[in-house]
Chain A
Amino acid sequence: MTNVKVNSVAKTYGSVPVLRDITTEFPEGSFTSLLGPSGSGKTTLLRIVAGFIKPDEGIVMIGNSDVTEVPVWGRNIGMMFQSYALFPHMTVEQNVAFGLERRGIKGVEAKKQANQALEMVHLPDFGKRYPKQLSGGQQQRVALARAMVIKPSVLLLDEPLSALDRRLRQEMQVELLRIQRESGLTTIFVTHDQEEALTLSDKIAILDKGRIVQIGEPGEVYEKPLTRFAAEFLGDSNFLKGKVEGGAVRLADGTVVRASGALPADGADVTLAVRPEKMSVVSSLEEASNSIRARITTVIYAGQALSYLLVTPGGLQLKLFAQNKDGRVLSEGEVVTLAWSPEHTIAVAE
């Protein structure tokens, strides 16, 4: 078992920088998601760790060895691809045994290990079939068995679940997590699905324009986003712009809002982020809360949850998420008071 480190890694295609000066560590046994929109560089970073792409600058360490110059086939990685990438002309068993044979394990022993791996993904007795005789979910399980059977140093997952339908995807998430926990493999998972990242990961790294804008535990990244991008990409956020004034923030319409954590010096411009589910509609104000009056413009009824779009007299657009608990649904045009705790009011960098 090994950790993975990247140090000052940069990659440019033509004149387009895809990764800029990435330094981070993926601790031993951790499950880290690289989360970002397309073009953020998350796949490039994964492929650099895998060895498919050579970084222009920086080094990649797997365990204690510098593998920057080592090609893919010398790195002992397990990789899963979005398209499964099973070899269509080989049986399931031959697919799984492929990596074993490259390591000099052949014949009966390779067969035994391949079948053990297939048992691990709950597909015993599937060895003699061809990939195209399997469903998408089964193919993905075979791909996982094939990646795990070689006892890799790291497991690299390139959006492996995005081609599956919702129910199967959730099933595979559980499976993936179970196998990752049992094996204790350091895992790097590329995804653009924030829910998947939150459910699976020990750590989430949010990438934007070739940089890691924030990395941390899911709860930490969600509750304390550092930048506007992080607040917006992982979950949803309301943004309140204002000026710092005596340890609080005065918004454009004059409302004074208190925030948690450090604020810049008085007079500086600042953006505050508030999660839509942290706000609630109140009838009487508590002393400690932030509050603002707003009119409901749109009601979105989604069964278990409700979302509202609101606008303040000052023209600020807000979102509010509420549980459909007491059966009370607010209606369009109603003017309400929204309150939320200063603790959930986070200053973010633009």
Chain B
Amino acid sequence: MTYLGRAYLFAMLFFLYTPIVVMMAMGFNESSLYEMPFSFSTKWYEALYQNTPLLTSGMNSIIIAIITAVIATSLGTMAAVALERRTFRGKSLLQLLLLPPIAIPWLITGTAMLVFFYWSGIGRGMHALLIGHVALAIPYVVLVVGTGFKTIRADLEEAAMSLGSTPVHAFFAVTLPLLYPSIIGAALFAFAVSLDQFVISYFLATPGYTTLPVQIYSAIRKGFTPEINAISTLLLLGSMGAILIFARFAKPGDVSDKR
């Protein structure tokens, strides 16, 4: 049984990581046609340095992802607080409506956004991308932060109030610090949702303002060069680094009140 388990684990990691490793390695291969034998070269990274459209769209992607993460995390956290700790009219309806967007295919959401933005005059471009990405990321944030909330007992805030805290002080002194791991997790989620986003970005980008996935897609159509491997590698290392930093500093659930 352990044998099977190990084999399964190995197969899973193999199929997950081999393509990524191959992709990274090919960025250092001299041949532009991905030919063997492998000969080490950094020429594609040098070429990437000159490839303004790819670099610009890469920067755009990161900037949009950061702004999306900040806005979606703030709004989503506030929504999660309201949904977990308050009662108000239409709460169950709101709770119900928050989740389906996660299940709706992005192609459909993207088409709907394009039609709506065109009709309402919002148009396309950076602002449209931002609105789209934030709207897309909020349900994830609410879900992650809301789950974090459920691990925090309500009587902690009551204890703080019995000791003289106003509800606002109790929230900031007790609940929020316990929520940090969830909030950071949610922010990373929002960042990833935005960075990954292709379909919606494809609809909402303009020729003058695109994101990396969209740029890569059009580059592939023209012809594949290992510069794409190079920028993918950089992006991958960046996101992995972020995840590792998160795992190091905020062990999820570590401070929650488990007994």
By a beta-carbon cutoff of 8 Å, the part of chain A in contact with chain B is 50, 52, 71-73, 76-79, 81, 83, 85-89, 98-99, 102-103, 131-132, 136, 146-147, 150, 156
Whether the pair A83, B153 counts as a contact (CB closer than 8 A) is yes
> How many Å lie between the Cα of A81 and that of B257 in the bound state?
14
Question: Hey, which chain B residues are within 8 Å of A77, CB to CB?
Answer: 162
Determine whether B163 belongs to the interface, using a CB cutoff of 8 Å to chain A.
yes
Does B177 reach chain A (CB closer than 8 Å)? yes
CB <8 Å contact, A73 and B166: yes
14 sampled A-B residue pairs with Cβ under 8 A: A71-B166, A73-B162, A76-B164, A78-B162, A81-B155, A81-B159, A85-B153, A85-B155, A87-B159, A88-B257, A98-B163, A102-B169, A146-B159, A146-B163
With A73-B161, A73-B166, A78-B162 as known contacts, state yes or no: A87 contacts B155, CB within 8 Å.
no
CB neighbours of B153 from chain A (8 A): 83, 85
Q: How far is the CB of B238 from chain A (nearest CB, A)?
A: 30
CB-CB under 8 A from B158, the residues of chain A are 52, 72, 79, 81, 85
A136 to B259, CA, bound (A): 9
Say yes or no: is B63 at the interface (Cβ < 8 Å to chain A).
no
Task: Tell me which residues across on chain A come within 8 A of B164, comparing CB atoms.
Answer: 73, 76, 99, 102-103, 150
Set of chain B residues within 8 Å of A50, measured between Cβ atoms: 162
Q: How many A-B residue pairs have CB under 8 A?
A: 66
Main secondary structure of the interface of B (DSSP, over half): helix
Residues on A with beta carbons closer than 8 Å to the beta carbon of B163: 73, 98-99, 102, 146, 150
Q: Which residues of B contact A89 (CB under 8 A)?
A: 174, 177-178, 255
B258 sits at the interface (CB 8 A):
yes
In the complex, whether B56 has a CB less than 8 A from a CB of chain A is no
Please give, as numbers and ranges, the residues of chain B lying within 8 Å of A87 by CB-CB distance: 156, 159-160, 174
Partner of A72, one of B162, B169, B257, B259: B162
Q: How far is the CB of B188 from chain A (nearest CB, A)?
A: 21
Q: How far is the CA of A274 from the CA of B199 in the complex (A)?
A: 80
Q: Which residues of B contact A (CB under 8 A)?
A: 153, 155-156, 158-166, 169, 173-174, 177-178, 255-259
Task: Select A88's contact among B155, B169, B255, beta carbons within 8 Å.
Answer: B255
Contacting residues, chain B, for A78 (C-beta < 8 A): 162
A48 to chain B, nearest CB (A): 14
B258 lies within 8 A of A73 (CB): no
For A88, A146, A147, which residue has the most chain B Cβ atoms within 10 angstroms?
A88
- Minimal beta-carbon separation of A79 from chain B (angstroms): 4
Q: How distant is the Cα of A128 from the Cα of B156 in the complex, in angstroms?
A: 20
Min CB–CB distance B180 → chain A (angstroms): 9
Which one, B156, B165, B259, contacts A73 given CB within 8 A?
Answer: B165
Cβ contact of B256, chosen from A76, A88, A136, cutoff 8 A: A88
Q: Chain A residues with Cβ under 8 A from B173's Cβ?
A: 98
A76 to B258, CA, bound (A): 29
Whole-angstrom distance between the Cβ of B192 and the nearest chain A Cβ: 27
In the complex, what residues of B have CB within 8 A of residue A52's CB?
Answer: 158, 161
Chain A residues in 8 Å Cβ range of B259: 83, 132, 136
Known A72-B161, A72-B162, A73-B165; further 5 A-B contacts with Cβ < 8 A: A79-B158, A79-B162, A85-B155, A89-B178, A102-B163
**B149 CB, nearest partner CB in chain A, Å:** 14
A41, B162: Cα distance in complex, Å: 20
Bound complex: CA A310 to CA B174 (Å)? 57
How far, in whole Å, are A99 and B258 apart by their CA atoms in the complex? Answer: 23
Contact A102 B165 (CB under 8 A): yes
Whether the pair A83, B162 counts as a contact (CB closer than 8 A) is: no
Q: Which residues from chain A contact B165 at a C-beta distance below 8 Å?
A: 73, 102
Complex Cα gap A78–B162 (Å):
7
Q: Contact check, B156 vs A132: say whether CB atoms are below 8 A apart.
A: no
How far in angstroms is the closest Cβ of chain A from B158?
6
Residues of A within 8 A of B160 (CB): 87, 98
Residues of B within 8 A of A86 (CB): 159, 257
The smallest beta-carbon distance between B223 and chain A, in angstroms, is: 54
In the assembled complex, the Cα of A83 lies from the Cα of B256 at a distance in Å of 14
CB nearest to B153 among chain A residues: A83
Q: With a CB–CB cut-off of 8 A, which chain A residues contact B177?
A: 89
Closest to A79 in B: B162
CB <8 Å contact, A85 and B255: no
Q: How far is the CB of A300 from the nearest CB of chain B, in Å?
A: 35
CA distance A86 to B162 in the complex (A): 12
Bound together, the chains give a CA A69 to CA B153 distance in angstroms of 26
Minimal beta-carbon separation of A150 from chain B (angstroms):
6
A83 and B161 contact, Cβ closer than 8 Å, known pairs A89-B177, A89-B178, A132-B258: no
| Complexed CA–CA distance, A73 and B164 (Å) | 4
Which 7 A-B pairs give the minimum distances between C-beta atoms? A102-B164, A99-B163, A85-B159, A79-B162, A85-B155, A72-B161, A88-B257
Expressed in whole angstroms, the Cα–Cα distance for A251 and B79 within the complex equals: 66
Distance (whole angstroms) from the CB of A103 to the closest CB of chain B: 6
With A88-B256, A102-B165 known as contacts, the answer to whether A79 contacts B159 (CB < 8 A) is: yes
Given A73-B166, A132-B258, A85 and B156 touching (CB < 8 A)?
yes
